[in-house]
Amino acid sequence: MEDTGRHLLKFKGYYFKRVGLDVDFLENLDDFEIRDDDVFIITYPKSGTIWSQQLLSLIYFEEHGKRTENLETVDPVPFLDARPSHLFSTHLPHYLVPRGLKNKKAKVIYIYRNPKDVMCLYFHFSHKWAENEAKTTIEEFMELFLEGKVTGSLWFDHIKSWYEHRSHFNIHFMMYEDMKKDLINSVLKVCRFLGKELNEEVLDAVVRQATFQNMKYDPLANYESILNSQPEGKRKEGPFLRKGTIGDWKNHMTVEQNERFDKIFQIKMKDFPLEFIWDI
Ligand code: A3P
């Protein structure tokens, strides 16, 4: 365990948020019991975690769609380190997830998003989170991101290693930008992967309730409670769901920053077969 002296802790080569980190839980995670019908959402932070949590909640729990229970989006799909369930979300790298997952018992959905947008939204998010003591400029944050000195470590490693180890898992890759462009189709593909059949009416309801507009103004679906859980007086203004668009990086990065990012991307992602959508 390496203490970085910032808001991060490095455990087995991977950076975690210091606040709330349960090291004993992580030490024993390899043995965490995996059931055949477990489903894991895996994301690098800021790649569409809450959106896919919302989708899985709606696909699996009709009450969630009907709002007959006062469930928050995150409740039915908790973070793995939060509490037991059949549906989980996590940002962990492939080598830290429970061993049982590697025996293809559970299903894994890996959501990814173009890393320039990820970096820029992460920059915004880092200013919303009270414990991030060092407030950075986008220039400084880009360096931290490119060095992997952020929760989730290096974006390039995260996606590449999940992809390279895909044959060990029962895994479905889904791109944020594809969800944006054609949510029905993305939901249908996920349902096929999960072996779930939704009739047209339910499918419509799932898609309707997972739109950005719907989630942004729904306090049960927009992580308001998570932002509000920060210490009084330290809360930052601004919603968790900000824009939900493709290509917002163009409003943040300078030409030089973009060129530098491209160069590094080309080296790191050489021969990587998944495509990315950078703008609309
Ligand atoms: P923005 O900052 O562009 O708004 P994560 O949940 O992994 O932290 O990712 C957060 C990003 O996903 C935010 O991006 C958020 O708006 C976006 N997002 C969440 N729900 C969405 C939806 N229904 N449609 C489009 N984007 C969504």
pLDDT of 261: 98
Query: Measured from the CA of 242, which atom of ligand 1 is nearest?
Result: 4
Count the Cβ atoms, other than its own, within 10 Å of residue 36. Answer: 11
Considering the domain boundaries, does residue 111 fall inside one?
yes
Q: Is the minimum distance from the CB of 222 to ligand 1 under 6 angstroms?
A: no
Considering the domain boundaries, does residue 278 fall inside one?
no
For the entire predicted model, the pTM comes to 0.91
Q: Is the minimum distance from the CB of 126 to ligand 1 under 6 angstroms?
A: no
Residue pLDDT, tens place only, 116-127: 999 999 999 888
For ligand 1, atom 23, name the residue with the nearest CA. Answer: 212
Calculate how far, in angstroms, residue 215's C-alpha sits from the geometric centre of ligand 1: 9
Q: Are 112 and 274 in contact (CB under 8 A)?
A: yes
Task: Give backbone dihedrals phi and psi of 197, rounded to 5 degrees, phi first.
Answer: -110, 125
Considering the domain boundaries, does residue 279 fall inside one?
no
Considering the domain boundaries, does residue 277 fall inside one?
no
Calculate how far, in angstroms, residue 31's C-alpha sits from the geometric centre of ligand 1: 32
The helix or strand, by DSSP H or E, that contains position 9, with its residue range, turns out to be strand 8-11
Mean pLDDT lowest among 9-18, 43-52, 73-82, 141-150: 73-82
Calculate how far, in angstroms, residue 212's C-alpha sits from the geometric centre of ligand 1: 8
CA distances from 126 to 23, 45, 97, 119, 203 (A): 23, 11, 25, 10, 34
Considering the domain boundaries, does residue 275 fall inside one?
no
Considering the domain boundaries, does residue 27 fall inside one?
yes
pLDDT of 180: 97
Mean pLDDT, the chain, rounded, equals 89
For ligand 1, atom 9, name the residue with the nearest CA. Answer: 46
Please name which of 173, 157, 180 lies closest in space to residue 95, comparing C-alpha atoms.
157
Q: Which of 117, 119, 121 to mutate to test the pocket of ligand 1 (most atoms within 8 A of CB)?
A: 121
Q: Is the minimum distance from the CB of 79 to ligand 1 under 6 angstroms?
A: no
Q: Indicate if the pLDDT at residue 77 is higher than 80.
A: no
Q: Is the minimum distance from the CB of 47 to ligand 1 under 6 angstroms?
A: yes
Q: Do β-strands 107-112 and 39-43 pair in parallel, antiparallel, or remain unpaired?
A: parallel
Q: Indicate if the pLDDT at residue 236 is higher than 90.
A: no
DSSP string, 19-53: TT--HHHHHTGGG----TT-EEEEE-TTSSHHHHH
E-state strands within 119-208: 171-175
Average pLDDT over residues 46-72: 81
Domain that holds residue 23: 2-268
Pick the most confident of 7-11, 85-89, 99-103, 154-158: 154-158
Considering the domain boundaries, does residue 214 fall inside one?
yes
Q: Indicate if the pLDDT at residue 96 is higher than 90.
A: yes
How many structural domains is the chain composed of? 1
CA distances from 67 to 64, 71, 186, 209 (A): 5, 7, 23, 11
Considering the domain boundaries, does residue 274 fall inside one?
no
Average pLDDT over residues 232-261: 88
- Using alpha carbons only, how large is the chain's radius of gyration in Å? 18
Q: Report the C-alpha gap between 240 and 224 in whole angstroms.
A: 7
| CATH code assigned at 254 | 3.40.50.300
94 as an active site residue: the answer is no
| 133 CB burial (10 A radius; 0-12, 13-18, 19+) | exposed
Q: Are 37 and 22 in contact (CB under 8 A)?
A: no
Six token digits for residue 122: 């992460």
Q: Are 170 and 39 in contact (CB under 8 A)?
A: no
How many CA within 13 A on the CB side of residue 183? 16
